[in-house]
Amino acid sequence: MAGQKAEAKKSTNANNVPLFSSKVTDLDVKLDNEIVYEFGGPLGVVGMMLGFPSLMYYFWICLEHHQGKLIVPAVWSVEGIKSFFWNDIWAAIVEGARPTVYAAKIYMGYILFSFILASIMPGPVVNGLPIPSLKGKKLPYLCNGLAAWYFTLPFSAFLHVTGIFRLTDIIDNFGHIMTIAIMWGFTLTTLIFIASHIQGTNHRMSGNLVYDFFMGASLNPRVGVVDLKMWAEIRVPWPILFYISVSCALKQYETRGYITAPAAFMVLAHFLYVNACQKGEECIPTSWDMFYEKDGFMLVFWNMAGVPFTYCYASIYLMKFEETTGVAITHSLPYTVGLFVALLSAYYIFDTGNSQKNRFRMEQNGSFIARNAFPQLPYGHIKNPSYIKTAHGNLLLTDGWWGVVRKPHYTADLVMALSWGLITGFGSFLPYFYVCFFLVVLTHRVSRDMERCAKKYGKDWDRYCERVPYIFIPYVF
Ligand code: NDP
């Protein structure tokens, strides 16, 4: 550790963190161009592209009509399955999830609104990491998410209070809006895919049309100053998720005159998440998604439709349970307080964990800026951090939460996800769908990331793993 601190003394950065050069190594280029079939290759991604929307409809029907119970055909015969499909699934979709003009106005109205804010609101411009395919060029990102968020909050309250647009209409039209979002997810992916071919910005193409559609063709598609990938990751899914929970809570308020602790918990949980994304937006340009992942179905669909319309099951379950039974779900005081404490503690580690690493990376990139966005939590920025210097040139942080485990922010994120389920009790699997799905996503992400880092940093990565041996939980895993 002393040696690492000594290394830092040679730094040029105010926080004793050396700047890395924008020179892209041959290894960077090789790794950036390497094509490996992931997600089960072309067959696997076809399954996902068909499976995700189907699952979204199925889960929605279970929540909407069966109090979150996972329904199956009453009789397991050809006739039974046919009747299940037509009478239980298709009829429910036609009735409650067909695309309507009003749903399109709500969803596409928000998409347009958020895109306009992303184009015109003020904010700092932060450079991303050197892009290997652009010979080390750093792209500028206009980070005006916070200004847009602070504008959106009072504006939405104004729309609701004046009756111009009642926020409860979101949950009243949930199925219809979800269908519009699914259609938009496919449409936007196609538009970006075609534009990339026309503009000649295709990157790391496998040659298999379906697989490339899923993974994307373009690395950094932009319209004016708006980076579509960053906009889609930050501005669309989390605010919509938050407004779905607000909509459920308001619905409860309209019938009951007050909001129960579990409904308030979900609004708080989703507020924390969306607020974290906006207040830390300047950290996103140096993230893996920005400089490596392409903007294909995987990111576009998931952000436009998947995240907002599946991560919200806990809020909807609470509301539907009350609607059908007339009884609101509540818990004992210790259970409720325990979950609030768990949520806030996990949020603290999630926020400061992401912040510690991203700010460290920004310092190396020379793009660090201090911001006073609420809340700035103590321990979010490490002064004179310890790290491992790699032969590649990059530094690996071994201080703060990053000295405890290799993915502290994943662990904290998973605990938050679990708390979203636990606040609904144990009546249905659906509020736990998010944490189960997220565990699979993050485990897969970790293995992809570790593999890439092992290739990129070689022996230095082994040294790092020895120094920080556990991934998620100290002494366990
Ligand atoms: P990370 O923040 O873990 O970024 C991984 C990259 O960080 C690595 O490739 C490496 O990049 C660099 N890195 C790894 N270890 C270190 C270290 N010790 N010091 C410095 N740099 C390091 O990944 P994500 O982008 O996946 O996650 C960001 C956040 O987003 C997390 O909190 C996660 O939970 C959340 N998330 C949420 C999702 C959701 O659906 N709710 C989905 C996905 C993520 P390099 O090659 O440059 O060294």
Alpha carbon 373 to its chain centroid, in Å, reads 20
pLDDT at 45: 98
Report the separation in Å between the CA atom of 433 and the middle of ligand 1, taken as the mean of its atom positions: 22
Atom of ligand 1 nearest to the CA of 354: 32
Three-state SS for 109? helix
Secondary-structure percent of the chain, ordered helix, strand, coil, rounded to 5:
65, 5, 30
pLDDT at 254: 95
Where would I find the H helices in 200-260?
209-215, 228-234, 237-256
Q: Give dist(CA 236, CA 354) in Å, integer.
A: 20
- pLDDT tens digits along 397-419: 999 999 999 999 999 999 999 99
Instruction: Indicate which residue's Cα is closest to atom 6 of ligand 1.
Output: 288
Report the separation in Å between the CA atom of 408 and the middle of ligand 1, taken as the mean of its atom positions: 10
Q: Give dist(CA 323, CA 342) in Å, integer.
A: 28
Atom of ligand 1 nearest to the CA of 468: 18
CB atoms within 10 A of CB 73: 14
Q: Check if the beta carbon of residue 241 is closer than 8 Å to that of residue 170.
A: no
Q: Check if the beta carbon of residue 66 is closer than 8 Å to that of residue 148.
A: no
Q: Which amino acid is at 388?
A: I
Report the separation in Å between the CA atom of 403 and the middle of ligand 1, taken as the mean of its atom positions: 15
Report the separation in Å between the CA atom of 426 and the middle of ligand 1, taken as the mean of its atom positions: 31
Instruction: Indicate which residue's Cα is closest to atom 11 of ligand 1.
Output: 288
Report the separation in Å between the CA atom of 287 and the middle of ligand 1, taken as the mean of its atom positions: 7
pTM for the whole structure: 0.94
For the chain, the residue count is 477
Q: Give dist(CA 167, CA 107) in Å, integer.
A: 12
Q: Give dist(CA 342, CA 272) in Å, integer.
A: 13
pLDDT at 8: 36
With the most atoms of ligand 1 within 8 angstroms of its CB, the residue from 351, 410, 418 to mutate is 410
Instruction: Indicate which residue's Cα is closest to atom 21 of ligand 1.
Output: 396
The CB-side HSE value for 418 (13 A sphere, CA atoms) comes to 12
Report the separation in Å between the CA atom of 354 and the middle of ligand 1, taken as the mean of its atom positions: 8
pLDDT at 22: 58
Atom of ligand 1 nearest to the CA of 414: 34
Report the separation in Å between the CA atom of 32 and the middle of ligand 1, taken as the mean of its atom positions: 17
Atom of ligand 1 nearest to the CA of 289: 25
Report the separation in Å between the CA atom of 358 and the middle of ligand 1, taken as the mean of its atom positions: 9
Report the separation in Å between the CA atom of 471 and the middle of ligand 1, taken as the mean of its atom positions: 12
pLDDT at 7: 36
Instruction: Tell the residue number behind the tokens 């990111």, with chain if given.
Output: 299
Q: Hey, what are 6's tokens?
A: 């000594």
Q: Check if the beta carbon of residue 351 is closer than 8 Å to that of residue 276.
A: yes
Q: Give the DSSP letter of residue 401.
A: G
> What b/e string do you get for 324-337 counting C-beta neighbours within 10 Å, with b at 16 or more?
eeeebbebeeeebe
Instruction: Tell the residue number behind the tokens 């050197």, with chain if given.
Output: 130
Atom of ligand 1 nearest to the CA of 464: 18
Report the separation in Å between the CA atom of 446 and the middle of ligand 1, taken as the mean of its atom positions: 9
Instruction: Indicate which residue's Cα is closest to atom 28 of ligand 1.
Output: 354
Instruction: Indicate which residue's Cα is closest to atom 32 of ligand 1.
Output: 409
Atom of ligand 1 nearest to the CA of 287: 25
Residue ranges per structural domain of the chain: 2-467
Instruction: Indicate which residue's Cα is closest to atom 33 of ligand 1.
Output: 410
Report the separation in Å between the CA atom of 288 and the middle of ligand 1, taken as the mean of its atom positions: 6
Nearest alpha-carbon partner for 238 in 268, 278, 265: 278
Instruction: Indicate which residue's Cα is closest to atom 14 of ligand 1.
Output: 396
Greatest extent of the chain over all pairs of C-alpha atoms, in Å = 75
Report the separation in Å between the CA atom of 219 and the middle of ligand 1, taken as the mean of its atom positions: 18
Q: Give dist(CA 434, CA 415) in Å, integer.
A: 11
List beta partners, residue 259: none
Instruction: Indicate which residue's Cα is closest to atom 3 of ligand 1.
Output: 407
pLDDT lower than 50: segments of the chain: 1-12
Tell me which residues have their CB closer than 6 angstroms to ligand 1. 287-289, 307, 350, 354, 357, 361, 394, 396-397, 402, 407, 409-410, 413, 441, 445, 449, 453, 456
> What b/e string do you get for 55-64 counting C-beta neighbours within 10 Å, with b at 16 or more?
ebbbbbbbbb
Q: Check if the beta carbon of residue 261 is closer than 8 Å to that of residue 330.
A: yes
Q: Hey, what are 477's tokens?
A: 């895993």
Helix axes 101-120, 237-256, angle to 10 degrees: 130
Q: Alpha carbon of 18 to those of 77, 359, 386, 406, 437: distances in Å?
A: 67, 13, 12, 21, 38
CB atoms within 10 A of CB 133: 17
pLDDT at 91: 98
List beta partners, residue 131: 137
With the most atoms of ligand 1 within 8 angstroms of its CB, the residue from 409, 433, 435, 468 to mutate is 409
pLDDT at 291: 86
The CB-side HSE value for 349 (13 A sphere, CA atoms) comes to 21
Q: Hey, what are 425's tokens?
A: 């009790």
